[in-house]
Amino acid sequence: MVKAGIGLAGLGFMARVHSRALNGIPEAKIVAAWSKFPEEHVKFDEFSKKLGFEIETYYTNIEKMLEDPGVDAVICAIPSRFAEPIANEIIRAGKPALIECPPSDTPEGIDRMEKFAKERGVKLMPGHCYRFAPCFKKSKELVDKDEIGAPLFVHFREFVPADSLARQWAPGSWIWDKDKGGPIPTMTVFCMDMARWLLKSEPVSLYATVKWQELPQLGTLGYTVSNVIKFENDVTWVNEFSSSFAPSVGSSMKMEIFGENGNAVMVDGPERVILHTEKKGVKREWYFDITRPERWGHKPQDEHFIRSVVLGHEEPIVKLQDAKKALKMSLAILESSKTNRVIQFD
Ligand SMILES: NC(=O)c1ccc[n+]([C@@H]2O[C@H](COP(=O)([O-])OP(=O)(O)OC[C@H]3O[C@@H](n4cnc5c(N)ncnc54)[C@H](O)[C@@H]3O)[C@@H](O)[C@H]2O)c1
């Protein structure tokens, strides 16, 4: 079997998530990795050996990695506000890439990236993993099959314990910069993309409140976001995102989609989807026995990336313009909470 040689750009948290995913994909092999920081090479080498593979070459110069003939495609996992120059190098080298989301910290940055990629004929796919997560795919399938009639109202809640985020991103990390929105763009953008995809509709307006919490015991920042989004198809979508509570509360993701025929789709964690029907007491359930790279969609997403963008067997189902729209929704959370205004989308 011909394997696509993958180069990793960035060796932090998401590079590990993608490595777990790619390690189980027969068509792909991670052959090279780049980080400016040699100490990250050492740490990543320990991690990859534990996972059962070794990276052939580590680079501190991105251009050198992109000249490596073994590198057919790149996974770029660099924080949004630093990603554009790296993406530009990848485009200049003509390598197809998955760019983690948000691909830039501004919508204009995503437009520039898309324009440059088009000019150079390079395919880029943004990493919007929730579209590939079994629980959300099943929910969309039930909505598309008209099991609940037209959706009326959606409630989505995603809580992550503060200590778990502190393990993911150490104090001092780019993500704890409150002036740049802290973790809010990263922790909300995947749901925003999922909402547009699931409803097949665009947002009209968004209102949000944000409560920040200094967490000196962890050296990080807690957040609690509540927001209401009105969609063009008249659906009201309410979100709650938080990382401001004790570890014993545990991780929790729940989604409830209520439809006009009285039925509802409920997602109770990434492993379980329930369809409540109008007949009293009748419900159907689906369980997904899934391991880490699958549960939030990363492995099926990376499989799709290899099949579509790298091998060209199909069109990617998610484009940079989707990433731009999702980013605008996440930025609207910050703007609405600062100004206490409803944000209208064009
Ligand atoms: N899809 C998901 O589920 C998901 C989850 C978390 C984060 N993300 C996204 O992944 C991206 C990366 O996040 P992460 O969690 O891996 O971050 P991280 O801090 O763990 O790692 C970032 C990497 O980028 C490098 N880097 C940082 N600043 C740089 C700069 N100025 N120039 C060059 N390299 C630089 C670091 O050295 C490190 O290798 C972000 O866009 C984030 O929003 C996606």
Instruction: Supply the range of the domain harboring residue 264.
Output: 131-291+326-344
The Å distance, Cα 43 to ligand 1 centre, comes to: 15
Q: pLDDT tens per residue, the chain (346 residues)?
A: 568 999 999 999 999 999 999 998 999 999 999 999 999 999 999 999 999 999 999 999 999 999 999 999 999 999 999 999 999 999 999 999 999 999 999 999 999 999 999 999 999 999 999 999 999 999 999 999 999 999 999 999 999 989 889 999 999 999 999 999 999 999 999 999 999 999 999 999 999 999 999 999 999 999 999 999 999 999 999 999 999 877 777 668 999 999 999 999 999 999 999 999 877 667 899 999 788 778 899 999 999 999 999 999 999 999 999 999 999 999 999 999 999 999 999 8
Give the atom of ligand 1 at the shortest distance from the alpha carbon of 175: 19
Q: pTM score, two decimals?
A: 0.96
The reply to whether 90 and 151 lie within a common domain is no
Q: What is the CATH number of the domain that holds 113?
A: 3.40.50.720
The Å distance, Cα 153 to ligand 1 centre, comes to: 34
- In degrees, rounded to 5, the angle at the alpha carbon of residue 271 between the alpha carbons of residues 209 and 257 is 50
Ligand 1: which residues within 6 Å by Cβ? 10-14, 35-37, 40, 77-80, 82, 100-101, 127, 129, 169, 173, 186, 296
Q: Tell me how long the chain is.
A: 346
Confirm whether 74 is domain-assigned.
yes
The closest alpha carbon to 275, from 248, 297, 302, 255, belongs to 255
pLDDT at 293: 78
Confirm whether 308 is domain-assigned.
no
The reply to whether 95 and 139 lie within a common domain is no
pLDDT at 335: 98
The reply to whether 194 and 265 lie within a common domain is yes
Confirm whether 298 is domain-assigned.
no
Q: Whose CA is nearest to atom 3 of ligand 1?
A: 129
The reply to whether 185 and 50 lie within a common domain is no
Confirm whether 225 is domain-assigned.
yes
pLDDT at 20: 95
297 vs 229: CA distance, rounded Å: 24
Confirm whether 9 is domain-assigned.
yes
Give the atom of ligand 1 at the shortest distance from the alpha carbon of 40: 39
The neighbour count for residue 50, using CB atoms within 10 Å, is 8
Exposure letters 305-314 (e unless 16+ CB within 10 A, then b): bbbbbbbeee
Give the atom of ligand 1 at the shortest distance from the alpha carbon of 35: 39
Give the atom of ligand 1 at the shortest distance from the alpha carbon of 185: 43
Confirm whether 296 is domain-assigned.
no
The reply to whether 102 and 183 lie within a common domain is no
